[in-house]
Amino acid sequence: MKAITWQGRHHVEVRSVETPDIVNPRDIVVEVTSTAICGSDLHLYDGFIPTMEKGDILGHEFMGRVVARGKEITHLQEGDRVVVPFNIACGKCHFCQRTLTSLCDNSNPNAAFVEKVYGQSGSGLFGYSHMMGGYPGGQAEYVRVPYADVGPLKVPDEMEDEQVLFLSDILPTGYMAAENCRIEPGDTVAVWGCGPVGQFAIRCALLLGAGHVIAIDRIPDRLQLAARDERVTALHSDKTDLDEALPELTGGRGPDSCIDAVGMEAHGTALGNLYDHVKTAAFMATDRPHVLRQAIRACRKGGTLSIPGVYGGVVDKLPLGAAFAKGLSFRMGQTHVHRYMPLLLDLIRDQEIDPRFIITHRASLDEAPELYETFRTKTDGCLKVVLHP
Amino acid sequence: MPKTNPSDESSAHPTRSCPNVGRWERTLSVAAGAAALLGGLRRRGITGLLAGGVGIALLRRGISGHCNVYERLGIDTRRETREEAGVPEDQGIKVVETITINRPRDEVYGFWRDLRNLPRFMDHLSTVEIRTEEESRWVASGPGGRTLEWDARIINDQPGELIAWESLPGADLQSAGSVRFESAPGDRGTQLTLTLLYRPPLGRLGALGAKLLNRSPEHQLREDLRRLRQLLEAGEMATADISS
């Protein structure tokens, strides 16, 4: 079969690889009909995530048709359309049973490696390095999906792929980011990063009762898209002094909660950002916490910082003193996709949210290497790439 | 101040040059020593000098069969005491690992008590064959692809709480172990604690080498217990393989 493989920094290739088969009794094999490139795939593309190996199949946002199933899988039939959560969860461990599926105890065969670095390991992920399990990803014609009795969500016939594809990751991620803010009616939520997750976080914050959302980015197209709703104020991060603008927009209180939908590869203009670039380039730190610093300073006293953006390692010069003095809460982590999928499917069906508004590019697998580059450089108005194998 | 008699020193250490290192370990010392010495000569500089020094010390240890550190610690790995049950005193390495499994205590105990299940999650065990209620025959793969075989006997069995066993005389791997099952607090299932005492097949130096190669028994047992949890909770073992 054809698959998009990682070959090194800024180098992905379409290769012919072995087609997957059923291995365990709870597996299914899915023939992929739609898959997407995620912003977090760019962390792999940029070489920021360790334990990638040449030839690894990328992709963790995908859906398709069931073509084979293990003997324990009875609720799905060959031909069923399913959308698959990006995190792999056994459904039976302590964490899965509390719907904390991204913290599954059993799904990462390389948990020992993560334990050495982090103390404990979260779940395995599709197509996201060997420390996250080394599972072949979804930017391919076929994928083996473990624990199919608890993961994949059956899609109603009348809904098209692009309506439900983002249930695999970014829509639940945007939703959990907003939910983590514990929004009260009328709250102001500031969102750093208006990529796909940021866009969804903004919509979900409004759905959950926010009265005002402040959207921050440095790409005009993305700001424009965010500001289609009149309850959203868009701020260009390179042209605005956020230290002044955020208090001004909130009567001096600061946003009630702040969402960092950027993560470890933040860009910025401040001196601290230059310092981060130098440090990561010299391997003295791994992540650039520019957004976190701004959010800590901006956030209202007693407010919440919600972090859906991915961090991988060590950050430096984090103003924890300010966070402490202001009594901030931090809520973060990989999304518990399984928990949110049914609820969000209903919201899509009821037309409360239509996730298709973020798609800018549609292509075949063969065109993916080029589109990785377009997405990385954020040219051609690129916000979200959907691939149809 | 007491006077020092020069002859006191030799009488205080009557066994100074007596061998106290086992056969396997001597062979390993010579091999490692030669490698370090050659490496040191090739590299030169301060690290080369250090490696060379270590190499010479190891070579001497291997050839003479005497180890000063062992002497200080009162260790002697020379005896081939395979005629005892369990592990001879002072010659064992003890490993303790613990894990919490989200299943009832009786179920976890029952799975372990059927010793034939052990090779399903313990990587180095090939088979366990049940002889009688208490006795069983174990086959494992040892260092360098050697097959190790031994008989073992259950010496303590408290259903739902504890199983303890030891190897019988003549074992290739002299060992003793216990596994304790406790209810984890707050409805979290079973807390399992595995204690293993064994006489390392390649001596203590071999055990140190294994540790440096990330093949330490702690690491291996931890992985074994992780697989046990996968089996008991998820009903299957996690794998990223795409064909069986």
Tell me if B9 is assigned to some domain: no
How far from chain centre, in Å, is Cα A232? 22
ipTM computed for the complex:
0.90
Average pLDDT over residues B119-128: 95
Say which range, A304-318, A325-339, B74-88, B158-172, has the weakest mean pLDDT. Answer: B74-88
> What's the pLDDT score for residue B9?
41
Average pLDDT over residues A97-124: 95
Both B147 and B198 in a single domain?
yes
Per DSSP, A237 falls in state T
> What's the pLDDT score for residue B36?
85
> What's the pLDDT score for residue B78?
66
Distance between A40 CA and the closest CA of chain B, angstroms: 20
CB atoms within 10 A of CB A54: 10
Average pLDDT over residues B162-176: 93
| Burial per residue of A120-150, b for 16 or more beta-carbon CB atoms within 10 angstroms, e otherwise | ebbbbbbbbbbbbbbbbbbbbbbbbbbbbbb
> What's the pLDDT score for residue B114?
97
List, in sequence order, every beta strand (DSSP E) within chain A: 2-8, 11-16, 28-37, 61-69, 81-84, 87-88, 124-125, 142-145, 153-154, 188-192, 212-217, 232-236, 257-260, 304-307, 329-332, 361-363, 385-387
Domain residue spans of chain A: 2-169+335-387, 171-332
Mark yes or no for CB contact B243/A25 under 8 Å: no
Strand order in the sheet with B162-167: B93-101, B190-198, B175-183, B162-167, B147-158, B135-141, B125-130
Residues of B in contact with A140 (CB under 8 A): none
Mark yes or no for CB contact A136/B236 under 8 Å: no
Per-residue pLDDT tens digits for A188-204: 999 999 999 999 999 99
Both B36 and B145 in a single domain?
no
> What's the pLDDT score for residue A274?
63
**Contact (CB, 8 A) for B210 and B216:** yes
Average pLDDT over residues A364-371: 96
Residues of A in contact with B225 (CB under 8 A): none
Distance between A135 CA and the closest CA of chain B, angstroms: 5
pLDDT confidence bin for B1, thresholds 50/70/90: very low
Which residue of chain A has the CA closest to B220?
A112
By the CB < 8 Å criterion, does B218 face chain A? no
Distance between B244 CA and the closest CA of chain A, angstroms: 5
Tell me if B239 is assigned to some domain: no
Both B100 and B187 in a single domain?
yes
> What's the pLDDT score for residue B10?
41
pTM given for the model: 0.84
Both B98 and B65 in a single domain?
no
Tell me if B159 is assigned to some domain: yes
> What's the pLDDT score for residue A284?
60
Single out the residue in B73, B101, B120 at which a domain terminates. B73
Both B118 and B181 in a single domain?
yes
> What's the pLDDT score for residue A322?
97
pLDDT confidence bin for B12, thresholds 50/70/90: very low
Tell me if B80 is assigned to some domain: no
Both B100 and B217 in a single domain?
yes
By the CB < 8 Å criterion, does B240 face chain A? yes
Tell me if B21 is assigned to some domain: yes
Q: What is the total count of domains within chain B?
A: 2
Give the closest of A19, A20, A92 to B234, CB-based. A92
> What's the pLDDT score for residue A296?
97
Residues of B in contact with A92 (CB under 8 A): 102, 233-235
Both B152 and B51 in a single domain?
no
Average pLDDT along chain B: 84
**Contact (CB, 8 A) for A329 and A256:** no
Give the closest of B233, B239, B244 to A90, CB-based. B233
Both B64 and B172 in a single domain?
no
Average pLDDT over residues A97-113: 97
> What's the pLDDT score for residue A283?
58
Q: Among A281, A74, A36, A346, which residue's Cα sits nearest to residue A165?
A: A36
Q: Among B207, B178, B205, B202, which residue's Cα sits nearest to residue B192?
A: B178
Per-residue pLDDT tens digits for A199-250: 999 999 999 999 999 999 999 999 999 999 999 999 999 999 999 999 999 9
Give the closest of A25, A90, A134 to B240, CB-based. A134
Give the closest of A21, A24, A136 to B236, CB-based. A24
Q: Output the six-digit token pair for B80.
A: 């081939």
Both B128 and B33 in a single domain?
no
pLDDT confidence bin for A273, thresholds 50/70/90: low
Average pLDDT over residues B178-197: 96
Both B153 and B109 in a single domain?
yes
Question: Of residues A48 and A333, which shows the higher confidence score?
Answer: A333
> How many H helices and E strands in chain A?
12, 17
Q: Output the six-digit token pair for A252.
A: 């001096």
Residues of A in contact with B230 (CB under 8 A): 90, 106
Q: Cβ contacts of residue A364 below 8 Å, gap of 6+?
A: A387, A388, A389
- Does A59 have pLDDT greater than 50? yes
> What's the pLDDT score for residue B215?
67
Both B67 and B170 in a single domain?
no
Residues of B in contact with A147 (CB under 8 A): 234
- Does A277 have pLDDT greater than 80? no
The class of domain A2-169+335-387 in CATH terms is alpha beta
By the CB < 8 Å criterion, does B178 face chain A? no
Residues of A in contact with B238 (CB under 8 A): 90, 106-109, 124, 133, 146
pLDDT confidence bin for A272, thresholds 50/70/90: low
Both B128 and B229 in a single domain?
yes
Percentage of residues of chain A with pLDDT beyond 90: 88
Question: Of residues B17 and A71, which shows the higher confidence score?
Answer: A71
Average pLDDT along chain A: 94
Single out the residue in B40, B73, B106 at which a domain terminates. B73
Please say whether the dihedral angle defined by the alpha carbons of residues B232, B236, B241 and B244, taken in this order, is positive or negative.
positive
The CATH number given to whatever domain includes residue B120 is 3.30.530.20
**Contact (CB, 8 A) for B151 and B136:** yes
Mark yes or no for CB contact A133/B233 under 8 Å: no
Question: Which of B98, B237, B239 should one mutate to test binding to chain A, selecting the residue with the greatest count of A CBs within 10 A?
Answer: B239
CATH topology of domain A171-332: Rossmann fold (3.40.50)
Give the number of C-alpha atoms closer than 13 A to the C-alpha of residue A193, restricted to the C-beta side: 30
pLDDT confidence bin for A366, thresholds 50/70/90: very high
Per-residue pLDDT tens digits for B31-45: 888 888 888 888 878
Residue type, A90: C
What CA–CA distance (Å, rounded) separates B62 from B65? 5
Per-residue pLDDT tens digits for A300-342: 999 999 999 988 878 888 899 999 999 999 999 999 999 999 9
Mark yes or no for CB contact B102/A112 under 8 Å: no
- Does B144 have pLDDT greater than 90? no
> What's the pLDDT score for residue A199?
98
Residue type, A362: R
Domain that holds residue B178: 93-234
**Contact (CB, 8 A) for A225 and A199:** yes
Region of residue A245 (phi > 0: left; psi between -120 and 50: alpha; otherwise: beta): alpha
Residues of A in contact with B244 (CB under 8 A): 21-23
> What's the pLDDT score for residue B7?
43
Tell me if B170 is assigned to some domain: yes
CB atoms within 10 A of CB A297: 17
> What's the pLDDT score for residue A349?
96
Distance between B81 CA and the closest CA of chain A, angstroms: 36
Mark yes or no for CB contact A136/B237 under 8 Å: no
Tell me if B101 is assigned to some domain: yes
